């Protein structure tokens, strides 16, 4: 009787599968009821070969089993990208050996999974496939293409650490054979407190230690040359990191929001620092630009609210009053977010206000010289205290996102003309006021005319409404 009930339940669940081209591509059943799934050998007489991208994305599935034939085989060979992403109640799955491909983030954020087996025929395992599985304590390996040591997944040569189970806690020492920490290898391992890197590691890849919020200590050996995108993003308990003089690359957002990081030495070997690499490191007090550094066209230090000045001996850059410029003083690259001045005069001769250059700064007023030609994206993003901007020349080219989240600005401008309105459309929702200045000190309030723009928006809304209705 129980087997009949189970068979009936499986058939009734399968009726909610969306099946196309030998692939289960979705589930259209009740979203609020926990359920078990059996992946059949066939649907409507056709072999089930693939569980497609996002097929069971964030469903209430609790367990998955696979129907096997007389030879103990399944037809499934591929589990697609995000196929079981966010299935937080999924606690039991035994992957059949027929599977050769597991897509990116296929089981990410399945927080109830405790163990997972690596199928014997698995040949291609995309990145991030088990990140955020907070109760996962070990991998069980059946594949000759991979290896498991103490529950941790490696490639078959043990040179690449592919994935560390997020449910493992406390401390970990990486084996000496490892030369590369794979993408998202420790991503969201919230129980990891300290880690010892082996002396042969060259690459710490993208998201390697992303959001390891309990990680307090890490050594970077002299073998390391690359720190990837968001490698230590959100590691909020790390207070200091000693970077060896072998590092060439510090990736985009590499140390973003490491909020307890107070000191970091950037060695002279570094030639590239990515956008937002140290963004929102709110306790960082000191930065020295390396001597051989050559690639920096935006502010990687925005939001560092205790950083009051930059220092450098690098001939490719210049520092004036603690503010970082290119060597010709044509581009203002970074204004220290912790600098306490209320007002700042951008030096004459500067042409470009760089990407994120004043982002989250404390300024109340800024005066721009007549030489300014461009204000780049996010240049004044979230400058919450900024009230006044004075333009001494013609209106420069202003990126639409230059003043995002910066409100109640008064623009002072000499020789204002109606043509300037097109230049500042990006200010429209920022409650901006325009004051026209003359050389004899007369101030005139300028009323901005957005009637045509509003009319266009209204007409666009009417068209969209009619299209929906029809």
CATH number of residue 227's parent domain: 3.80.10.10
424: confidence class by pLDDT, cuts 50, 70, 90: low
Domain annotation covers residue 308:
no
Domain co-membership, 182 together with 272: yes
Domain annotation covers residue 292:
no
Domain co-membership, 8 together with 77: yes
Q: How far apart are CA 225 and CA 248, in angstroms?
A: 5
Q: How many other CB atoms are found less than 10 A from the CB of residue 213? A: 14
Res 455 pLDDT > 80: no
Domain co-membership, 126 together with 197: no
Domain annotation covers residue 303:
no
Q: How far apart are CA 131 and CA 108, in angstroms?
A: 5
- The beta-carbon contacts of 75-78 under 8 Å, at least 24 apart in sequence, are 75/41, 75/42, 75/47, 75/48, 75/49, 76/39, 76/48, 76/49, 76/50, 76/51, 77/49, 77/50, 77/101, 78/49, 78/50, 78/51, 78/102, 78/103
What is the share, in percent, of the chain residues with pLDDT greater than 70? 86
Query: For the chain, what is the mean pLDDT?
Result: 87
What is the dihedral angle through the alpha carbons of 238, 324, 225, 237, rounded to the nearest 10 degrees?
10
Residue 182's alpha-carbon distances to 72, 195, 203, 235, 296, in angstroms, are: 33, 15, 8, 17, 26
* Of 51, 108, 114, 110, residue with least CA distance to 77: 51
Domain co-membership, 150 together with 125: no
pLDDT at 246: 95
Domain co-membership, 128 together with 185: no
pLDDT at 5: 34
Window from 36-50, 68-82, 424-438 with minimum mean pLDDT = 424-438
pLDDT at 423: 64
Res 399 pLDDT > 80: yes
CATH number of residue 412's parent domain: 3.80.10
Domain end among 111, 134, 157 = 134
**pLDDT, mean of residues 198-217:** 95
Residue 326's alpha-carbon distances to 292, 349, 393, in angstroms, are: 14, 12, 22
Over residues 263-313, the pLDDT tens digits come to 888 888 998 999 899 999 999 988 888 877 776 667 899 999 999 999 888
Pairing of strands 17-20, 23-27: antiparallel
User: How many domains does the chain fold into?
Assistant: 3
Domain end among 237, 266, 284 = 284
Select the more confidently predicted residue: 444 or 37: 37
**Total residues found in the chain within this entry:** 470
The string of DSSP codes covering 150-187 is TTEEEETTS-EEEE--TT--EEEE--TT--EE-TTTTT
pLDDT at 87: 94
58: confidence class by pLDDT, cuts 50, 70, 90: very high
Domain co-membership, 149 together with 18: no
Whether residue 90 contacts residue 112, with contact meaning beta carbons closer than 8 Å, is answered with: yes
Domain annotation covers residue 18:
yes
Select the more confidently predicted residue: 105 or 292: 105
Res 100 pLDDT > 50: yes
CA atoms within 13 A on the CB side of 397: 7
Domain co-membership, 363 together with 430: yes
pLDDT at 420: 66
What is the share, in percent, of the chain residues with pLDDT greater than 90? 63
Domain co-membership, 180 together with 251: yes
pLDDT at 169: 79
Domain end among 134, 158, 188 = 134
Q: How far apart are CA 330 and CA 319, in angstroms?
A: 12
Question: Rounded to two decimals, what is the model's pTM?
Answer: 0.83
Cβ-Cβ contacts under 8 Å for 459 (sequence gap 6 or more): none
421: confidence class by pLDDT, cuts 50, 70, 90: low
pLDDT at 312: 86
Domain annotation covers residue 307:
no
CA 410, 412, 418, 423 torsion: positive or negative? negative
Domain annotation covers residue 122:
yes
Over residues 313-363, the pLDDT tens digits come to 888 899 999 999 999 999 999 999 999 899 999 999 999 999 999 999 999
Containing domain of residue 199, as a range? 145-284
Domain co-membership, 276 together with 324: no
pLDDT at 215: 94
Select the more confidently predicted residue: 393 or 220: 220
Domain co-membership, 232 together with 261: yes
pLDDT at 1: 39
Whether residue 170 contacts residue 146, with contact meaning beta carbons closer than 8 Å, is answered with: no
pLDDT at 9: 43
Res 448 pLDDT > 50: no
Domain annotation covers residue 181:
yes
Domain annotation covers residue 124:
yes
**pLDDT, mean of residues 32-40:** 88
Domain co-membership, 391 together with 447: yes
Over residues 235-248, the pLDDT tens digits come to 999 988 889 999 99
Res 12 pLDDT > 60: no
Domain co-membership, 42 together with 10: yes
The string of DSSP codes covering 269-301 is T--EE-TTTTTT-TT---EEE-TT--B--B-TT
């Amino acid at each position: 009787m129980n087997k009949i009930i189970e068979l009936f339940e499986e058939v009734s669940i399968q009726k909610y599968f969306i099946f196309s081209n030998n692939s289960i591509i979705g589930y259209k059943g009740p979203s609020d009821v926990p359920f078990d799934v059996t992946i059949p050998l066939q649907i409507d007489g056709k072999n089930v070969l693939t569980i497609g991208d996002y097929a069971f994305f964030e469903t209430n599935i609790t367990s998955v089993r696979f129907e096997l034939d007389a030879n103990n085989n399944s037809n499934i060979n591929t589990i697609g990208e995000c196929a079981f992403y966010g299935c937080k109640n999924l606690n039991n799955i035994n992957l059949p050996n027929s599977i050769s491909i597991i897509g990116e983030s296929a089981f990410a954020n399945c927080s109830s999974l405790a163990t997972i087996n690596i199928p014997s025929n698995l040949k291609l395992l995309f990145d991030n496939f088990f990140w955020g599985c907070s109760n996962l304590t070990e991998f069980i390996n059946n594949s000759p293409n991979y290896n498991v040591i103490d529950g941790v997944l490696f490639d078959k040569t043990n040179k690449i650490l592919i994935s560390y189970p997020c449910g493992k806690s406390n401390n970990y020492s990486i084996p000496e054979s490892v030369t590369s920490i794979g993408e998202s290898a420790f991503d969201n391992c919230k129980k990891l407190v300290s880690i010892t890197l082996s002396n042969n590691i060259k690459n710490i890849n993208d998201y390697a230690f992303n959001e390891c919020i309990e990680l307090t200590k890490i050594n970077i050996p002299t073998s390391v040359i690359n720190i990837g995108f968001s490698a230590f993003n959100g590691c909020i308990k790390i207070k200091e990191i000693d970077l060896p003089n072998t590092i060439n690359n510090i990736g985009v957002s590499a140390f973003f929001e490491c909020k307890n990081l107070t000191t970091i030495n950037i060695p002279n070997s570094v030639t590239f620092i990515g956008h937002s690499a140290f963004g929102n490191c709110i306790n960082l007090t000191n930065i020295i630009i390396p001597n051989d550094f050559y690639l920096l066209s935006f502010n990687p230090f925005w939001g560092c609210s205790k950083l009051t000045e930059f220092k450098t001996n690098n001939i490719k850059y210049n520092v004036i009053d603690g503010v970082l410029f290119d060597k010709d003083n044509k581009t203002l690259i970074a204004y220290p977010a912790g600098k306490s001045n209320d007002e700042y005069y951008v030096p004459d001769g500067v042409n470009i206000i760089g990407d994120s250059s004043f982002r989250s700064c404390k300024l109340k007023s800024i005066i721009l010289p007549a030489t300014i030609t461009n204000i780049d994206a996010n240049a004044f993003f979230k400058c919450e205290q900024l009230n006044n901007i004075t333009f001494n020349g013609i209106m420069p080219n202003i990126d639409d996102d230059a003043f995002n989240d910066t409100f109640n600005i008064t623009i002072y401008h000499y020789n204002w003309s109606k043509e300037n309105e097109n230049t500042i459309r990006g200010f429209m929702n920022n409650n901006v006021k325009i004051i026209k200045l003359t050389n004899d000190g007369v101030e005139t309030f300028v009323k901005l005319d957005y009637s045509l723009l509003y009319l266009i928006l209204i007409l666009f809304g009417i068209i969209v409404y009619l299209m929906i209705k029809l």
